[in-house]
Amino acid sequence: MTMPMMSAGITPAGEGEGGVAWNILGQTYKPMQHSASSFAFHTYFPDGTFVPPHIHAKQDEFIYILDGKFELMLDGQTQHAGKGDLIRLPMGLPHGIFNKSGSPVTALFWVAPSLGLYELFSRIHNVGDPAEVVRIAAEYEVEFLPPPG
């Protein structure tokens, strides 16, 4: 599959590029920009939703919180980030993202390079079985870690 070149333009507020929006285990992801070098997506995390600890082996990831507060597991440590904070997740760093705040969280995420993350989100849209999401994610070099314990 050929990776798209980034085109100049504006992705309107509240919309995903090309009208795309994904439901991923109760969260809403909307692609804002996608090219070989990077992929940005707007997210909406209802209270109580999360992304379990995982690793992107070949991507740096960033999260800019637009509204709300995340609890994070960063390399085995619990940290908190709120509105206006930028979370930096270097490739290979185990991390998990949790909304335990009592309110929704909106954030802009981006990864560099994009690799297959756009395609992964397309494949796991509306997949309700977390085990199946984990299995598919492994095909895209996103490794979910076993639960602690």
- 57-104 pLDDT, tens digit each: 999 999 999 999 999 999 889 999 999 999 999 999 999 999 999 999
pLDDT at 7: 82
Long-range contacts formed by 15-18: CB under 8 A, 24+ apart: 16/41, 16/42
The pLDDT tens digits for 13-40 are: 999 999 999 999 999 999 999 999 999 9
pLDDT at 54: 95
> Is residue 1 scored above 60 in pLDDT?
no
pTM above 0.75, yes or no: yes
pLDDT at 3: 62
- Report CA-CA distances (Å) from 117 to 80, 110, 125, 138, 144: 25, 10, 12, 11, 14
- Report CA-CA distances (Å) from 119 to 24, 44, 63, 112, 115: 13, 19, 20, 15, 9
pLDDT at 146: 77
* CA 86 to the chain's CA centroid: 14
What are the boundaries of each domain within the chain?
Answer: 23-142
pLDDT at 6: 81
Instruction: State how beta strands 142-144 and 50-56 pair.
Output: antiparallel
**CATH code of the region 23-142:** 2.60.120.10
Q: 128 versus 68: which is more confidently predicted?
A: 68
